[in-house]
Amino acid sequence: MKYYNTEEDIQRDLKRLSLEKQIAWEELKIIKEDFKEALQPSHWLQTGFKLFSKLGLMMLVKKIIK
C-alpha cells in the first residue's frame, strides 16, 4: 500500500493514472481499427493472391527442376 505525505503527491499520482488510462484507451481504439481492417474482404483477397502466387512459383520451379 502506498502512503502519501502531501496532497500534491496524491494529485500527481491521480494525473499520472489518468494519463495512463487515456493512453490505454487510445491503444484499444487503434487495435480495434486494425482488427476491423484485417477483416475486410480486400485484405483477404490480397492474402489469397500472395499465397497463390507463392504456390504457383513453387510449382513452376518444381516443374523446371524435373
The set of residues, in sequence order, having a beta carbon less than 8 Å from that of 23 and lying 6+ positions away, is none
Q: Are 21 and 15 in contact (CB under 8 A)?
A: no
In a domain, residue 1? The reply is no
Q: Which domain holds residue 52?
A: 7-65
In a domain, residue 29? The reply is yes
Tell me the CB-side half-sphere exposure of residue 63, using CA atoms within 13 A: 6
Task: Give pTM, 2 decimals.
Answer: 0.57
**Measured distance CA(53)–CA(22) in Å, rounded:** 43
In a domain, residue 38? The reply is yes
Query: How many domains is the chain built from?
Result: 1
What is the per-residue pLDDT across 48-64, written as a single tens digit (0 to 9) for each?
A: 888 888 888 888 888 88
pLDDT of residue 66: 75
For residue 7, pLDDT over 90 is answered with: yes
